Structure formats: C-alpha cells, structure tokens
Amino acid sequence: MSYDFSSLAPADFEDLARDLVGRELGIRFEAFGPGPDSGIDGRHAKGRLATILQAKHYAGSPFKTLLSAMRRERASINRLAPARYVLATSRPLTPANKNSLEEAIGPALKAQNDIFASSDLNGLLRKYPDIERAQIKLWLSSAAVLERITRAAAHAYAAITKDEIAAKVRVYAQNPSFKAARDTLESQHVLIISGPPGVGKTTLAEMLSYGYVGECWKLVPIRSLDDGFASIVDPDKQIFFFDDFLGKVALDKSALASKDSDLSRFMKRVRHSPNARFILTTRAYIFEEARRLSEYLADDRLDISKYVLDVGVYTRSVRARILYNHLLVAGTPAEHIRALIESGQIPKIVDHANYNPRVIEWMTDTMQVSAIAPEQYANAFISALANPKKLWDTAFRTHIPEKCRHLLYALFFGSQYGEDIADLRLAYQSLHPRLCAKYGQPHDAKDFEESLRILEGGFVTISSSSVSFVNPSFRDYLTDYLNDIEQLKDFAPAARQAGWARQLWWHGKKIAGEDALAGFARAFDAVAKEFLRIPIWKKSPQYPHSYSAADLANTDRIDLLISWWEATGDEAFARLATDLAAKPVSGFSSWRDGTDLVELMVNFRNGYYYDFPFEEEMLTALGDGLITMLDGGVESDDLERISDAITGAEETLDPEIVAAATAAIRREFGEIDRMVAETDSESTLEEHKATLEKLAPRAGIGSVALASAIRTINERISAIAEEAEEAEAPSFSGAVKKEREKFDDSALLNLFASLLRR
C-alpha cells in the first residue's frame, strides 16, 4: 500500500517520520513540537554528538516551496552544527530535487540518502509494517480502505460520504484508548465504551469499527438487540455497533427488565460466535443508573466490568492534538485561528476543567464561529467550556425562527434513533399550527421544508429519509429546556402517533406536580381514541415483502392507556384499553407483545390496577390474545421468553394459557427437523439446545425425545463447522508510544504555531 500522506496533519507526519527514521537508523528521537524549533523536529543526542531530524510536510506543494523553506532553514542548521542531519518530506522527489536540497542544506547533510522522500517513507512502512498498523489515521485514510469504509458506511451511517469519513479520520487524535478498546474487543468479543457526554465515545467506536471494516469485516449498526439477533451470521466476519444503547431505554425497573435479558443473550451469542464483535456506547451516568436498577447488569457472575472501557481521561498532549486537528480540518477562519493563538489563551483551553471534545468541535465549526468576532474568539471559547449549555441556548433562542423551534420540539418527542421524514412531517403539521394559533404567529404550507433547510447542519442531520439531532448534547439541552408542564399540555392534543404521545407523557411526568398530572393526562384524549386504528407495522421501502415497526406495540398502548386512567380516574381511558386488548391492531405479536401480555395479566391478578372498572373483561381479552398467539406458532426465542414469564405464575394464570404454552413447546420438538435445516449458525443451534433442555420438562418431554432432538442439532452443527472458518484477529494495533517528553507550555504553543503559517 502506498500513501501520499495528505491525510496527516503536520504534527502527525512528524510523529510518523520520527518512528520510521528512528527505526531505520536504530536510534530514538526526542520529539519537539512544530513551530519556531530552530530546525528540530527530532533529536538524538549521544555525548556531544547529535543527530537532528527535520520533517517537512509538503504533500501536494510545488518542489520550489520545499526548496525555499530549506534555504531559509540553512542558518538554523549551521548554528546547530549537528553531527548528522536528516530530512524527511511527504513530497515525492527526483534525483535532481535531492541534488538541489543537498546544496540548500549544506555540509550538515552527510549523505544524500539521509533525505527521505515520500517513496522512501513508503518503503520504510513496507519494511516496518507494525509502524504502519499502529498509525490508524494513516492506513484508514488510504484510498482502498477509505472506499471499503465508505461502502459499509453508506448502509451503516445513512449514506455518509467519503469526504465526511476522511474528515473524521483526519480530526481524530490517536490516544491509548484505541489500543485498549481493540484489545478488550479481541479478548472478550464485547466492548462497552462508557464516559461522560461529549468525550468521544462514538468517535472511538466509529474509528474502531472503521478499522475492522478496513480489514474486510462487515459493519452492522443496530438500533435494537432484535436487529442484532436477526443479522448475526456465524461464518461472516461481523462488527456490531450499538450507539448509546441505554440512552434509548427509559431507565426504570420495568423497562430494563426486558432489555437487560436481551442484552445478556446477545452478548452471550456474540461471545460464542467465532467471527462476531460487539461495540456498545453509553453515557457513564446512565450506565451506573442502569446497573443500580438492573439485576442482570449488577450480577457479579457476569463481571460486566471486563467489557467496559471508560474514556474521557486525556493527557495534555492528546487534548492539544484534538484542538489542533479540529482547527486544521474544520475550516475555522484563518483570522480566528490567528487571534486564538496570539491571545495566549490556548493553555487555558487545553487545561480547562470542563475540557470536552464536543465543545471543541462546536467552537471550531465555521457556522458557529462566524457569529463571533476574531478578537472575542478566545474569550468565547473559554466561556463555552465554562458553561457548555450556553452554546445551544444562544443558538436556539436567537439564531433560528419560531417555526424551526417547533420542528425541533416535534423531533424531540419522536424516535431517539432519528425520525422518518414522513412521520416528522405528520407531527410538525399537527403541532406547528396549534402553537402558531395560540401565540398569534403566522404560518404557511412551506414551513416544514423551510425549517428543515434552515436547521440542517446546525441542529439536525438529514440522511436519506431520516432526520436526527446533529449532536446528542442538543437533546440533553432540550430535556432541560422543556420544563413547563403547561407548555407540554399544549403539545399533547397534537400527538398523532402513540410513540410520540408516550415520549411526551414520560417527559411531562418527570416535571408535573401531582395536581397537574391529571390535567396533563386528559390532554391526550384525542390520540388515545386513535390507538385502536394507528398502524403497528409499515412496509419496508427497500424490501416490499418485509415489514418494520411503525408505532408502539399493542401492549405498550394498553399500558399507556392504563397510565392515563390511573392519573385521571377517567373510565374512558380504561374502556379504550380494554377494547384494544379485545381487538388489537393487526393482532398481538409474539416478538413485541408476548412477555408483556403475561406481565399485564399477572399485574391485574396481583391487584396492581386497583379498582380498574373492566378487570375481568380485560383479563379475558388478554388471555384470549395470548392463546391465539401461541396457537398460531411463535419463534423459538419468543417461546422461551414467554414460557419463562409463565413459569412461576401458573397459579395466577388461567389453565388454558398454561396448556397453550405446553402445546407450543411440544410443537417445537415436533418441528425440530425443519427448524434445524433452516439454521446456518452454530451459536444459534447451541443456544437452541439449551432452550430445548430448559423447555422439555415444562411440557413433559421425555429423555428419549429430548436426546433425539439434541442429536439432530449436533449433526447440523458438525456439518456447519466443516464450512466455517474462525476469523483472525485484526492486524491493526493503534499502539501509542508512552510520552517521555514533558509537554509544557512551550511545546503546546509550538504545536499551534504551524497553523499560523497555513
């Protein structure tokens, strides 16, 4: 693989030159930051003799530019009088070019082969491949690898472009977290990246994912654990990525009860698959709260700590590189960069107690910086670090019109993974006119399109047919901003989907006092009546015979209606919940409703919904729905979960329900040949053996029938094993050398001095 080194920042190129030339010469160079360094980018001193290395990053520049620079360096080189002078440049050189450089450098250059051009450096990379694989930014940005990543990301990150990926790679500051993450992922197959908001969890996960894609692994981004179960294929090399996985779950005991068991199963599945890796990110405070609430995540037997990598603790030099890379890549105006450097405030920014890469990204973005005068830039930067919420507050309150704020409200209560444009339009066109009418503001039919156009890039990203917030911190800002229950009551009548209504209800419950809660619940009357009609599923636009979830499942809708009945005592909500149980939209789903049906029935029998006016009617409807579902056939995983829920609650449930579950288990054994023939995953089959061993005694399946089923599965596993190959660990290491030199203020300012010349 050959590189032109254009993807590297000057400081990155100097690091690479020190590593390569030092290895070739058998010496270690001390590092000096770029800038007024008296002609030194690396120095090796032995007694009174010194070898000086100069790195000149002139990729894409004319040769005369490099030659002029070296002529200017001549006086410094003569003053240093090194025993040996070495020049490394990212520019290709001809023999004539080297002759000219030899003349410009003077007697300090002992031999022309101490000039390393781009071709020479590429030769050293081939000679020392461990250095190449440790330089993540270098090989990820090669044309072949970047093309592979772009193809994967077109699916994974909603058509992100090659330029956007290249920019992410260029701005990334390599640090020890990368190698630690890679090593944990290889040893455990599962990695949970945890840390405070904005410290670079997603960036680290993306860089790690890109590294695997660069070595021909398939990237599978997932929005739910069900997506993962549906996608895992043992013979394929797959890297699964679930960003902010706990941030998508309401953190209460009931919500986590189902999620953590799914997480347990999927982590186990990945760990037993030879070719799967699983990366999850989560904010630290959410993770700790989840561990407090979840029996699974707190289970000592799991020892989940061995999967967790905490990020956010950066050395001073890494902090400086993050700022340096963003100023270099983000297109920050030159006058702002100059003003920032000349202000002398860079050490205060790098050392700030609230230093956060997300703030750095924001404060170097051209769109945000354009509103700040150059002479005020340094102070604005420090102010943003002191109070990051001000970043969003000023922009949200003063930089966009009211119609745009209405769209952001509509998006906030939509899916946290991003909202389909059609669904967002529906929510906006209901909410926007209501708010305009209340506050006497004009509106017209083009407001939705105009608002999207204004917000794109600054507040939202639009990819294919989906809209999402440009940054998770803005969702955090709106969470605090939307704290007026009277305002939220105005939003409720505009709800057109059950999921949107639930998000609004959950948010309002946190801030509503006891007196206001009933009035807030009553504001959902209109959408509650539509729960019996709003579609559950929608056709996939890519696959005409496939369906995906369009809105809340029936049991989730019933639960929400019961919550509104509990808050108001209004029988109308109880009547709607009972009617929906008797006639669920598109029927109950074993995947989405199975265990929830059992839980609802148990809760009713145990008196959780005291004085519910239609209790027996509700129980009959739920029981009939569960029996119909079980009789119609369910997937093995769903059957196991439903059976687990029923086990231990037999005395609470009607005998007909227990009998239907028993019959479903017996059918599972009766259809073992078909199921096994349709499965190509060793780990799935291994899990199925465990499932059958668990379910057999519940349905009175004898040892002979069980042994026959296990034998059938083992034969299929043996057949698959002959075809499957275990993936080798990826060769990239991302190793970062231990810092030996003190990164003081002089080194810090020297790093940024090169930006002035650009």
Q: pLDDT tens digits for 84-122?
A: 999 999 999 999 999 999 999 999 999 999 999 999 999
Residue 333 has pLDDT above 80, yes or no: yes
Which helix (H) or strand (E) segment holds residue 438: the answer is helix 421-439
Q: Is-above-0.75 flag for pTM? A: no
Residue 158 has pLDDT above 50, yes or no: no
In 3D space, the residue among 661, 721, 665, 662 whose CA is nearest the CA of residue 688 turns out to be 665
Residue 573 has pLDDT above 60, yes or no: yes
Residue 543 has pLDDT above 90, yes or no: no
Token code pair at residue 103: 């003349």
- Going by their DSSP bridges, the two strands 49-56 and 84-89 should be labelled as parallel
Q: Tokens 């009609």 belong to which residue?
A: 533
How many whole angstroms separate alpha carbon 62 and alpha carbon 68? 10
Between 169 and 555, the higher pLDDT residue: 555
Q: Are 97 and 62 in contact (CB under 8 A)?
A: no
CA distances from 344 to 321, 347, 746, 749 (A): 17, 7, 11, 8
Q: Are 530 and 507 in contact (CB under 8 A)?
A: no
How many whole angstroms separate alpha carbon 15 and alpha carbon 31? 8
Q: Are 499 and 415 in contact (CB under 8 A)?
A: yes
Of 136-140, 397-401, 522-526, the one with minimum mean pLDDT is 136-140
Instruction: Report which listed range, 168-182, 311-325, 598-612, is most confident.
Output: 598-612
Q: Are 600 and 556 in contact (CB under 8 A)?
A: no
Between 21 and 41, the higher pLDDT residue: 21
Mean pLDDT of 550-579: 97
Residue 570 has pLDDT above 90, yes or no: yes
Residue 632, φ and ψ in degrees, nearest 5: -80, -5
Q: Are 53 and 41 in contact (CB under 8 A)?
A: yes
DSSP per position, 58-126? -TTS-HHHHHHHHHHHHHHHHHH--SEEEEEESS---HHHHHHHHHHH-TT---GGGEE-HHHHHHHHH
Between 245 and 212, the higher pLDDT residue: 212
In 3D space, the residue among 245, 252, 354 whose CA is nearest the CA of residue 304 turns out to be 245
Residue 430 has pLDDT above 60, yes or no: yes
Of 69-83, 181-195, 278-292, 609-623, the one with minimum mean pLDDT is 278-292
CA distances from 294 to 106, 242, 285, 298 (A): 70, 19, 14, 6
Q: Are 137 and 151 in contact (CB under 8 A)?
A: no
Q: Are 495 and 501 in contact (CB under 8 A)?
A: yes
Mean pLDDT of 467-472: 84
What is the identity of the amino acid at 294? S
Mean pLDDT of 560-589: 97
Mean pLDDT of 194-213: 85
**Structural domains of the chain, ranges and CATH numbers in brackets:** 10-134 (3.40.1350), 138-310 (3.40.50)
Mean pLDDT of 643-662: 94
Mean pLDDT of 502-523: 94
Mean pLDDT of 741-745: 74
pLDDT for 685: 87
> Which residue(s) pair with 239 in the sheet?
219, 277
Angle, alpha carbons 267-269-271 (nearest 5°): 70
How far is C-alpha 576 from the chain's CA centre? 38
Mean pLDDT of 667-689: 87
Contacts of 100 (CB under 8 A, 6+ apart): 63, 67
pLDDT for 34: 46
Q: Are 444 and 433 in contact (CB under 8 A)?
A: no
Residue 274 has pLDDT above 90, yes or no: no
Mapping DSSP onto H, E and C, the string for 134-196 reads HCHHHHHCCHHHHHHHHHHHHHHCCCCCHHHHHHHHHHCCCCHHHHHHHHHHHHHCEEEEEEC
pLDDT for 90: 94
Residue 40 has pLDDT above 70, yes or no: no
DSSP per position, 304-363? GGGGEEE-----HHHHHHHHHHHHHHS---HHHHHHHHHTT-HHHHHT-TT--HHHHHHH
pLDDT for 604: 96
Which helix (H) or strand (E) segment holds residue 259: the answer is helix 253-272
Contacts of 635 (CB under 8 A, 6+ apart): 590, 591
